[in-house]
Amino acid sequence: MVESGEDIIATENGQNMFENFRITRPASKELLRKYISIFLDVLIPDVNICPEHSSPMDYLWHSFNNDFAVNSINGDCIVWANRGGGKTELAAIATLLDCVFKSSCQIRILGGSGEQSRRVYEYFVRFATRGYEGFLADGIEMEKAVFTNGAAVEIMTQSSRSVRGQHINKLRCDEVELFSEDVFNAAKFIMQSGDGVYAAMELVSTMHRPYGIMQKQIAQAEKFSTPIFKWCLWEVIERCRDRECSRCPLYSDCVGKAKRACGYLSIDDSISQMRRSSRAGWESEMLCRMPNLENAVFAEFNPDIHVGEIRFDPNLPLYRTIDFGFINPFVCLWIQVDGDGVVRVIDEYVCSRATVAVHGAFLLSHTPLPQSQVAGTFCDPAGAGSNDVTGTSAVKELRRMGINVRYRKSAIQEGIELIRRALRNGDGKSNLLISNKCRLLIEAMRCYHYPEINCGPQSELPLKDGVYDHYIDALRYFFVNYYRPNTVKVRMY
């Protein structure tokens, strides 16, 4: 195929030029945008209005060009966009482009439900029947299309059986927030590079919850250098031309952004959506500011208020608080309380599959004071129980090492309420500050949540998910012990 359509456009005319341009791979983002506009009749927004955002065209160019770019490795990416932000349509366009320009490329579409998978495929069929019928080997089937160059696209259902056993190049996961964990984990292993096409797993969704798959994947994206393409209402709304800002219901969020927009979402429709939704829903679904905190235990937690750069202060008492674990993580937090009663979490230690002796040695070496000067070390009462194999307990082992752990039995809800009061008391003041070094505790504060209503009877207790509960447990052991010092149990062995 010809590498650029510019020469063809300049020298050929009529239908011949048009069809030659159809089979010419666009060699730049602008040419790709023009190609999509001409052949698919879709003009994709290409302006990032919010400074930290991308445009929809940025995602599409990455998805298309990664297989042709120098030094590419894989095409993994995450698309975090608003409701009505064109995610499903873009996934269909990316799929058609892969089939046309990447011989033997094998693509699968996996939606958060069977209906969502079919929606992507229906968009794909609509685009494929705009002059691409001659590229197809046997026409378009209900759930599959094969191209004469060996490329193929097929939809999969939201089940482990559907996913396992597949060996493909590209997987597009639409509304990944709705995936089951089992299916998502199985899907991670089915992509392979081959025939000049790089493996790619594309995750496309809004972010509904602070503890869902999207949140977890975005949190890991920086670690694995996975690109994130994020856009919100302002990247896809139509340009505002003749409205008075002072009278517009959107102005408090827009502040003139729509004057620079070049999208397609109706301003009037957007105003209606805002009026129909809650503020939390509007911010998470349309502005992509933060997930909906409706089911979060600590909805009051705000990193701008509760996270900062904190260091050990030798003039303040030092405490430690522990949640025991082996397969699950062993967690220790170092905490100080200042003269104003502000609880300052200054450091965290998290480690799995290590003995209590290993953990104890780390605590001794990492604590910036002699053990005799530590004001208190609090722990999970379950740590006092004897291990059936060793015949001893975690509490006994730590005490033998000179770490005088203490504990008090308490209800989970008691500790939760004490943490909430520290986040924001009756006067609206915060008495909790967490060091920005405590990355896992901060994530847990955002993601610790109640069970979903549709997963069974709603519980008054947070979900014990084996991920975030351990960090919160360690924190609440501090609060229930620190604020009830006279009833702390101290047993000598």
Per residue in 91-142, pLDDT (tens digit) is 999 999 999 999 999 999 999 888 889 999 999 999 999 999 999 998 899 9
Q: Per-residue pLDDT averaged across 17-29, rounded?
A: 91
Predicted local distance difference test score (pLDDT) of residue 491: 44
SS (H, E, C) 401-468: CCCCEEECCCCHHHHHHHHHHHHCCCCCCCCEEEECCCHHHHHHHHHCECCCHHHCCCCCCCCCCCCC
Q: Per-residue pLDDT averaged across 46-69, rounded?
A: 95
Q: Are 144 and 99 in contact (CB under 8 A)?
A: no
| Secondary structure (3-state) at 353 | coil
Per-residue tokens: 458: 């709603």
Predicted local distance difference test score (pLDDT) of residue 9: 47
Q: Is the pLDDT of residue 493 over 70?
A: no
Per-residue tokens: 2: 């010809």
Per-residue tokens: 114: 């069977």
Predicted local distance difference test score (pLDDT) of residue 20: 86
What is 303-487's CATH number?
Answer: 3.30.420.280
Q: Is the pLDDT of residue 86 over 80?
A: yes
What is the β-pairing status of strands 152-156 and 106-111? Answer: parallel
Predicted local distance difference test score (pLDDT) of residue 135: 95
Q: Are 90 and 121 in contact (CB under 8 A)?
A: no
Place of tokens 């009278």: 247
- Considering only residues 486 and 183, tell me which one the structure prediction assigns the higher pLDDT: 183
CA distance 350 to 366: 13
What is the β-pairing status of strands 144-147 and 136-140? Answer: antiparallel
Give the single-character DSSP code of 336: E
Q: Is the pLDDT of residue 485 over 60?
A: no
In the sheet that holds 106-111, the strands lie side by side as 136-140, 144-147, 152-156, 106-111, 170-174, 200-205, 77-81, 228-231
Predicted local distance difference test score (pLDDT) of residue 338: 95
Report how far apart, in Å, the C-alpha atoms of 21 and of each of 8, 55, 149, 150 are. Answer: 7, 25, 18, 21
Q: Which helix (H) or strand (E) holds 7?
A: helix 6-11
Q: Are 107 and 98 in contact (CB under 8 A)?
A: yes
CA distance 113 to 223: 29
CA distance 154 to 144: 4
Q: Give tens-digit pLDDT for 391-431.
A: 689 999 999 999 999 999 888 999 999 999 999 987 788 99
Q: Any idea of the CA torsion for 83, 86, 92, 98, to the nearest 10 degrees? A: -120
Q: How many residues are there in the chain?
A: 493
β-partners of residue 320 are 334, 377
Residues 6+ apart with CB under 8 A from 483: 418
Q: Name which CATH class applies to 42-234.
A: alpha beta
Predicted local distance difference test score (pLDDT) of residue 4: 44
Confidence of residue 293 (pLDDT cuts 50, 70, 90): low
Q: Which helix (H) or strand (E) holds 94?
A: helix 87-101
Q: Give tens-digit pLDDT for 185-203.
A: 999 999 999 988 999 999 9
Q: Is the pLDDT of residue 220 over 60?
A: yes
Q: Is the pLDDT of residue 454 over 60?
A: no
Predicted local distance difference test score (pLDDT) of residue 445: 92
* Mean pLDDT, the chain, integer: 89
CA distance 114 to 157: 5
Of 145, 142, 59, 131, which is closest to residue 99 (Cα–Cα)? 145
β-partners of residue 376 are 319
Q: Are 263 and 235 in contact (CB under 8 A)?
A: yes
Of 318-332, 374-388, 409-423, the one with minimum mean pLDDT is 374-388
Place of tokens 């480690």: 351
Q: Is the pLDDT of residue 278 over 90?
A: no
Rounded to the nearest 5°, which phi and psi values hold at 56?
-55, -35
Q: Per-residue pLDDT averaged across 472-483, rounded?
A: 95
pLDDT over 90, % of the chain: 67
Q: Per-residue pLDDT averaged across 365-381, rounded?
A: 93
Domain boundaries, the chain: 42-234, 303-487
CA distance 47 to 255: 17
Of 13-17, 97-101, 273-277, give the range with the top mean pLDDT.
Answer: 97-101
Residues 6+ apart with CB under 8 A from 429: none
Rg of the chain over Cα atoms, rounded to whole angstroms, equals 28
Please state, as a whole number, how many other Cβ atoms lie within 10 Å of the Cβ of residue 29: 18
What is the β-pairing status of strands 200-205 and 170-174? Answer: parallel
Confidence of residue 228 (pLDDT cuts 50, 70, 90): very high
Predicted local distance difference test score (pLDDT) of residue 96: 97
CA distance 295 to 282: 16
Q: Are 91 and 97 in contact (CB under 8 A)?
A: no
First to last CA, the chain: 80
Q: Are 402 and 371 in contact (CB under 8 A)?
A: yes
CA distance 142 to 437: 52
Report how far apart, in Å, the C-alpha atoms of 363 and of each of 191, 284, 343, 348 are. Answer: 42, 40, 20, 10
Give the single-character DSSP code of 51: T
Q: Per-residue pLDDT averaged across 428-443, rounded?
A: 93
CA distance 56 to 249: 25
